[in-house]
């Protein structure tokens, strides 16, 4: 499998397509490590959403689903399956896919999950 998956939605514009994905992952992983998420399952927008670190309080805004990296593996595949299944239940929300993923990443939902699942 792949070490990382880069999720981008349909309205993302890649302004520097010549930059290798590995460079972006290294930059985001370094930013995540500085913020305390060294083994993050998901990185992007300079905020780690690591399943190894459980946040004590809800973040001030949901994760942006426009572009993020997921670590390759069973935990990421399961997260994507759960996200797809959750989307129909939140379609009335203006940012439905973001709200669905945000709900899945709430501390009580991620407690006990690991990146090596």
pLDDT in tens, the chain (117 residues): 678 888 887 777 888 889 888 888 887 777 767 766 545 666 664 344 443 333 334 444 456 777 888 888 888 888 888 888 887 766 666 667 777 787 787 766 655 554 444
9 occurs within a structural domain: yes
> pTM to 2 decimals?
0.63
63 occurs within a structural domain: yes
Number of domains in the chain: 1
Asked if residues 49 and 43 have their Cβ atoms less than 8 Å apart, the reply is yes
61 occurs within a structural domain: yes
Which residues are registered as beta bridge partners of 42? 70
Q: Are strands 42-44 and 47-48 parallel, antiparallel or unpaired?
A: antiparallel
43 occurs within a structural domain: yes
115 occurs within a structural domain: no
116 occurs within a structural domain: no
């Amino acid at each position: 499998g792949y070490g990382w998956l880069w999720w981008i939605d349909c309205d993302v514009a890649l302004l520097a397509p010549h930059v290798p994905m590995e460079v972006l992952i290294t930059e985001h992983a370094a930013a995540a490590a500085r913020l305390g998420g060294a083994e993050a399952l998901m990185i992007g927008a300079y905020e780690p959403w690591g399943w190894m670190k459980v946040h004590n309080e809800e973040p001030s805004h949901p994760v942006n689903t426009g572009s993020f990296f997921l670590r390759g593996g069973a935990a990421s595949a399961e997260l994507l399956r759960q996200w797809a299944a959750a989307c129909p239940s939140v379609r009335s929300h203006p940012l439905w896919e973001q709200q669905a993923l945000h709900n899945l990443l709430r501390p009580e939902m991620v407690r006990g999950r690991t990146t090596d699942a």
